């Protein structure tokens, strides 16, 4: 594998793409430490060790590479773009115009991408306003007495909102530049960079606790096993054979070839975990605004907000399974696939074209999603279970989902590098 890296860097075109990608990732990390105008950086450093017990803020902080709690210009990270992309995908179900654009090919996809950009800017304005309000009211760093925004005038707050929104727009532009001129998917690589930057420090903090070395070793072993499981499952797929009939077009014969439809066990990726975590964060937000001595607030805190409570664990698992089916149904349309196969003379051996093919694909997807959803729930919970059993207080947002994102993006990027190496007759990374 190391020799393959050497070959990649000895290839001029591929070397330029790799260096360009790494340079953009470096710029992204540098921006995470530049404070937003109006923020007292010294006071932020005093308060940053006191992480708010807010799962939703924890998720945003994870995807911003820790920049959220630094209140930097990249505080929102890539989260507004992720949310906007998910919303645009979901709107295809309820807005016929979006579905029509999706079917128009490259031109329609470009229009949907433009809508996603506009929605990203709108969400960035909303989220930056919320984050600044939370920091201004002292809820971001609960218990910290020093103010992180000393001057909370209208002009200062407006400048902070504009700066954070511009930072999100710049991140979106950087991700698109990686996709066009670099290696891999730009947005995915920026997410990878954010998580990879915060993960080692969160793990290393375990070693400083009581019996830290033994706990660190146990967590490291579990993470290595989870990485192996993720690699195995993410590479696994059900291949449905497709045969194309021969047909004459003028004097040329087309078709007569065999191919397959690759269906991954985990079709929905990490989206179900993000959805489930976001929904489970809502009771915590509601409890924060209530009377802390009220009975319902105490019950919510102890039974729903607490990640170690049985109700919280059960709800988390059920929500992951539900969203795995829901998002798979949104992104994979058996009727559309069956119609495209019929249009080009394709059929599944033993299955009639048209409606029977759609029903067969729906049957396969339903059965494949069952173990896929259980796998997602297991990956999301296994690290949290280990932390609970070992009594580790270090919080890693999304738990094993961070591993799923890092490994998934890494595999996809390596595949792209591998394909470019094979085009130049080199042995790739994956054998």
pLDDT of amino acid 170: 92
Gyration radius from the chain CA atoms: 24
* Two tokens, residue 69: 């709690």
**Coil, strand or helix: which one is 105?**
coil
pLDDT of amino acid 166: 93
- Say if residues 8 and 418 touch (Cβ distance below 8 Å): no
Q: If you search the block for the tokens 């540098």, which residue do you land on? A: 30
Which distant-in-sequence residues (6+ apart) come within 8 Å of 218 by Cβ?
Answer: 386, 390
- Say if residues 94 and 101 touch (Cβ distance below 8 Å): no
pLDDT of amino acid 119: 92
**DSSP assignment of 323-390, as one string?**
HHHHHHHHH--HHHHHHHHHHTTEE-TTS-TTHHHHHHHHHHHHHHHHHHHHHHHHHHHHHHHHHHHT
How far apart are alpha carbons 62 and 190 in whole angstroms?
12
* Two tokens, residue 68: 């959220």
Select the CATH number that applies to the domain covering 1-196 from these four: 1.10.3370.10, 3.30.70.1150, 3.40.630.30, 1.10.260.40: 1.10.3370.10
- pTM (predicted TM-score): 0.78
- Please report how many Cα atoms fall inside a 13 Å half-sphere around the Cα of residue 3, on the Cβ side: 3
Q: What are phi and psi of 244, to 5 degrees?
A: -105, 125
* Two tokens, residue 191: 């997410």
Q: If you search the block for the tokens 């690759």, which residue do you land on? A: 262
Other beta carbons less than 10 A from residue 90's beta carbon: 15
The sign one gets for the Cα dihedral 392, 396, 401, 406 is negative
Question: In a structure prediction context, what are the per-residue pLDDT tens digits for the chain, which is 431 residues long?
Answer: 556 566 777 777 888 888 898 899 899 888 888 888 888 777 777 776 555 445 556 666 666 666 677 788 888 888 888 888 888 888 887 888 888 887 777 788 888 889 999 999 999 998 888 888 878 877 677 667 777 787 878 888 899 899 999 999 999 999 889 988 888 888 888 888 888 877 777 777 776 666 677 877 888 888 888 888 888 888 888 888 888 776 656 666 655 677 888 888 888 887 888 788 777 777 777 776 666 677 777 787 777 777 778 888 888 889 889 988 988 888 888 888 888 888 877 888 888 888 888 899 899 999 999 998 999 888 888 877 887 777 766 555 556 777 888 888 888 888 888 777 777 655 555 55
Cross-strand bridge partners of residue 244? 346
């Amino acid at each position: 594998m190391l020799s393959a890296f050497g070959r990649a860097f000895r290839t001029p075109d591929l070397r330029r793409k790799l260096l360009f990608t790494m340079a953009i990732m470096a710029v992204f990390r540098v921006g995470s430490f530049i404070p937003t105008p109006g923020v007292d950086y010294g006071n932020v450093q005093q308060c940053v060790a006191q992480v708010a017990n807010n799962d939703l803020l924890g998720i945003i902080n994870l995807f911003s590479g820790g920049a959220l709690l630094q209140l930097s210009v990249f505080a929102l990270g890539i989260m507004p773009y992720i949310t906007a992309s998910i919303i645009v995908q979901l709107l295809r179900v309820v807005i016929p115009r979006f579905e029509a654009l999706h079917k128009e090919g490259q031109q329609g996809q470009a229009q949907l991408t433009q809508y996603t950009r506009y929605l990203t800017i709108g969400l960035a304005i909303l989220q930056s306003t919320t984050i600044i309000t939370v920091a201004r009211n002292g809820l971001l760093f609960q218990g910290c007495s020093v103010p992180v925004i000393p001057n909370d005038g209208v002009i200062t707050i407006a400048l902070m909102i504009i700066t954070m929104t511009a930072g999100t727009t710049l991140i979106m532009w950087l991700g698109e530049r990686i996709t066009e001129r670099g290696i891999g998917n730009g947005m995915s690589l920026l997410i990878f960079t954010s998580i990879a930057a915060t993960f080692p420090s969160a793990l290393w903090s375990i070693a400083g606790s009581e019996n830290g070395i033994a706990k660190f070793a146990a967590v490291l072993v579990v993470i290595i096993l989870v990485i192996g499981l993720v690699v195995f499952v993410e590479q696994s797929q059900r291949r449905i054979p497709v045969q194309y009939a021969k047909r004459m077009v003028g004097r040329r014969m087309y078709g007569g070839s065999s191919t397959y439809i690759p269906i991954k066990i985990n079709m929905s990726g990490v989206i179900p975990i993000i959805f489930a975590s976001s929904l489970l964060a809502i009771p915590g937000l509601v409890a924060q605004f209530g009377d802390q001595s009220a009975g319902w607030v105490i019950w919510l805190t102890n039974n729903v907000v607490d990640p170690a409570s049985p109700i919280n664990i059960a709800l988390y698992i059920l929500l992951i399974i539900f969203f795995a089916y829901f998002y798979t149904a949104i992104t994979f349309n058996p009727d559309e696939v069956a119609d495209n196969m019929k249009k080009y003379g394709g059929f599944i051996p033993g299955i009639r074209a048209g409606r029977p093919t759609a029903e067969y694909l729906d049957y396969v997807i339903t059965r494949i999603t069952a173990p896929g959803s259980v796998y997602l729930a297991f990956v999301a919970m296994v690290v949290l279970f280990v932390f609970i059993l070992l009594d580790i207080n270090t919080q890693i947002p999304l738990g094993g989902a961070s591993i799923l994102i890092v490994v998934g993006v890494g595999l996809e990027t390596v595949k792209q590098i591998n394909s470019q190496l094979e085009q130049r007759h080199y042995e790739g990374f994956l054998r």
